[in-house]
Amino acid sequence: MQLRNIAIIAHVDHGKTTLVDKLLSQSGAFRENQRVAERVMDSNDLEKERGITILAKATSVVWKDVRINIVDTPGHADFGGEVERILSMVDGAIVLVDAAEGPMPQTKFVVSKALKIGLKPIVAINKIDRPDARHQEVINEVFDLFAALDATDEQLDFPILYGSGRDGWMAAAPEGPKDQGLAPLFDLVLDHVPPAEVDTGPFRMLGTLLEANPFLGRIVTGRIASGVVKPNQTIKVLDRKGNLVEQGRVSKILAFRGIERQPIDQGEAGDIVSIAGLSKGSVADTFCDLSVEEPIQAQPIDPPTVTMSFIVNDSPLAGTEGDKVTSRMIRDRLMKEAEGNVTLKIEESADKDSFFVSGRGELQLAILIETMRREGFELAVSRPRVVFKKDEETGETMEPVEEVVIDVDEEHSGIVVQKMSERKGDMVEMRPSGGGRLRLVFHAPTRGLIGYQSELLTDTRGTAIMNRLFKAYEPYKGEMAGRVNGVLISNEMGEAVAYAMWNLEDRGPMVIDPGAKVYQGMIIGIHTRDNDLEVNVLKGKKLSNVRSTGKDEAVRLTPPIRMTLERSLAWIQDDELVEVTPKSIRLRKAILDPNDRKRAEKQKEALAG
């Protein structure tokens, strides 16, 4: 059977996963009576909740006796490590662009990687039925983007389709015909994407995706570059430099057939398959026949830019809500994560009680923490910090800088420009993007962007859309103003009393509910001034034996500020931690005892002085 391997590239929310749903159903991958979940490719709980694709996944359909392997790629740059490797598995790409928003930074990020390795793109303008669609301008923007990314003449001569992934149709003209469904897209893939290239020689495959299966152990997915592989065959694994990692037997070969993975008798060159049975082979390693000596060249991966400390939870409430609390359990879980995710870097501290986890962005790390707390882990995490570098020639400090694109209503553009300049962002472009909105482009240090997302939404009443992309390491931009408010800290352990919280309302808003468990050193509110204040939230009302006329038996509290995980990570300072358990997210000082805290502050001042 002939093969075509293709990736779907698009920005977050431009409709990749919905389009894959329709491709599967129109190619007959589902039975007539089969119940299918919406966005079938977003398989894990967090993907379904957030409506984003985090892990790249493959599927396959048969059209006119040709098997088309389709890879759904993540749109967020934080999960870009997935994208770079996947593109080495495919021969073509469908670039899906929103008819109103046009090409966005994440599209640019993946497209630049795709063009660099010589893929020929097909451009699909999606959501053509939007009232604010502007397809002609969007096509010009796509062409300009390709030209700016040094596309070849052949790549610039891309075919264009218009349609609506949700309604399940694509056509060569914006107005249709709509009655052919997605057949024009399938036919174009067969015509435009070259058949899978195959080298001659023994079996070789580059590992691109890795997962742990409770029954089969490690499963590595990749595209077979040459030769065939069969179950029970002995193969070896070479790392990027050609060193032997391990030798072992293939226990099972699985291939994508629709949304299911089915065992097959042999994997042939050009097909995308999953191999089980080897315990050490990882992503970017070459799985090959025993006679092969040279590994396949793997794409280099962009460096991690943000790091956080994962610390064993040592609060007085440790172990009351989660069952995985020891450093050994946390270490094993992080090492398992690092195996499958090459963009994560994990280092152990000298005391073995904390781990430095570096990744592409705070969203990637927040997703990891959220996944761990759902598995029953308890841990404390520090504020994200950027990874600095020293310039080898000049010796000056370099920091990561990102390209930030903000789409905002004109009336809110002033506050956005002001806040970005406070965060050392340089504006490089400002242009109208239709419908009374402006598109602002900044180059800003990652340091200043940590925690800006929630502030931006507050400033623009939830109407702004921000997209970020790692640009380069540039010279250090200087000091930046941090949080202006201090915090309210509990000085006792117990349960918060509504009456005490009511009395403290003029000191600042609370971040806990009445009845919440608190302990000494835990942050319970935001102080209206710039200093920290220790308060007692356990103080109940003094009762007397004189009955009052009922003037004050009901205490009316202002609702507390809800601190989500991402918001907490962005808000805390360097001397504070977020305590994460399966049931709660608490904020606390790193040093709980007030006397120890003062002593540490004095030592810090003495060292600085």
The per-residue pLDDT for 93 is 87
Burial per residue of 523-552, b for 16 or more beta-carbon CB atoms within 10 angstroms, e otherwise: bbbbbeeeebbebebeeeeeeeeeeeeeee
523 marked as binding residue: no
CB 243 within 8 A of CB 234: no
The per-residue pLDDT for 36 is 41
**Is the pLDDT confidence value at 383 over 80?**
yes
Nearest CA to 560 out of 485, 517, 505, 521 is that of 505
Q: Tokens standing for 140? A: 């010009």
Range scoring the smallest mean pLDDT among 145-149, 194-198, 273-277, 395-399: 194-198
The per-residue pLDDT for 78 is 47
**Is the pLDDT confidence value at 29 over 80?**
no
Task: Convert the pLDDT of each residue in 38-82 to its tens digit.
Answer: 444 444 454 445 444 444 467 778 888 888 888 776 655 545 555
CATH 2.40.30.10 domain span(s) along the chain: 204-288
The more confident residue out of 325 and 106 is 325
Q: What are phi and psi of 290, to 5 degrees?
A: -60, -20
Q: What is the DSSP letter of 77?
A: G
Q: What is the mean pLDDT of residues 568-592?
A: 89
The per-residue pLDDT for 47 is 45
**Is the pLDDT confidence value at 111 over 90?**
no
Q: What is the mean pLDDT of residues 380-384?
A: 90
Give the three-state DSSP class for 33.
Answer: coil
Q: What is the DSSP letter of 377?
A: B
CB 444 within 8 A of CB 419: no
Mean pLDDT of the chain: 81
The per-residue pLDDT for 177 is 82
Percentage above 90 pLDDT, the chain: 9
The per-residue pLDDT for 607 is 84
CATH 3.40.50.300 domain span(s) along the chain: 2-192
73 marked as binding residue: no
Q: What is the DSSP letter of 258?
A: B
Task: Convert the pLDDT of each residue in 262-309 to its tens digit.
Answer: 888 888 888 888 898 888 877 778 888 888 888 887 766 667 888 889
Rounded Cα gap, residues 417 and 192, in angstroms = 44
Confidence of residue 218 (pLDDT cuts 50, 70, 90): confident
Task: Convert the pLDDT of each residue in 78-94 to its tens digit.
Answer: 455 556 667 778 888 88
Task: Convert the pLDDT of each residue in 331-373 to its tens digit.
Answer: 888 888 877 676 788 888 877 788 999 887 777 788 888 889 8
128 marked as binding residue: yes
Q: Which CATH code for domain 2-192?
A: 3.40.50.300
**Is the pLDDT confidence value at 155 over 60?**
yes
**Is the pLDDT confidence value at 435 over 50?**
yes
Confidence of residue 519 (pLDDT cuts 50, 70, 90): very high
What architecture (CATH level 2) is domain 389-475? 2-Layer Sandwich (3.30)
CB 228 within 8 A of CB 266: yes
14 marked as binding residue: yes
pTM of this prediction? 0.71
| DSSP letters for 413-463 | HHHHHHHHHHTTPEEEEEEEEETTEEEEEEEEEHHHHTTHHHHHHHHTTT-
The dihedral over CA atoms of 569, 572, 576, 579, expressed in degrees to the nearest 10, equals -40
419 marked as binding residue: no
The per-residue pLDDT for 547 is 62
The per-residue pLDDT for 305 is 81
CB 445 within 8 A of CB 399: yes
Rounded Cα gap, residues 60 and 24, in angstroms = 8
Single-letter code of the amino acid located at 76: H
Confidence of residue 103 (pLDDT cuts 50, 70, 90): confident
394 marked as binding residue: no
129 marked as binding residue: yes
**Is the pLDDT confidence value at 391 over 50?**
yes
Q: What is the DSSP letter of 403?
A: E
| Helix or strand holding residue 92 (H, E) | strand 92-98
Tokens 């029970």 belong to which residue?
232
127 marked as binding residue: yes
**Is the pLDDT confidence value at 489 over 80?**
yes
Q: Which CATH code for domain 204-288?
A: 2.40.30.10
Task: Convert the pLDDT of each residue in 174-209 to its tens digit.
Answer: 887 888 888 888 888 888 888 877 778 898 888 877
Q: What are phi and psi of 232, to 5 degrees?
A: 75, 0
- Report residue 342 CA to chain centroid gap: 13
Confidence of residue 259 (pLDDT cuts 50, 70, 90): low
- How do 66-72 and 57-63 pair as beta strands? antiparallel
The per-residue pLDDT for 37 is 42
The more confident residue out of 570 and 546 is 570
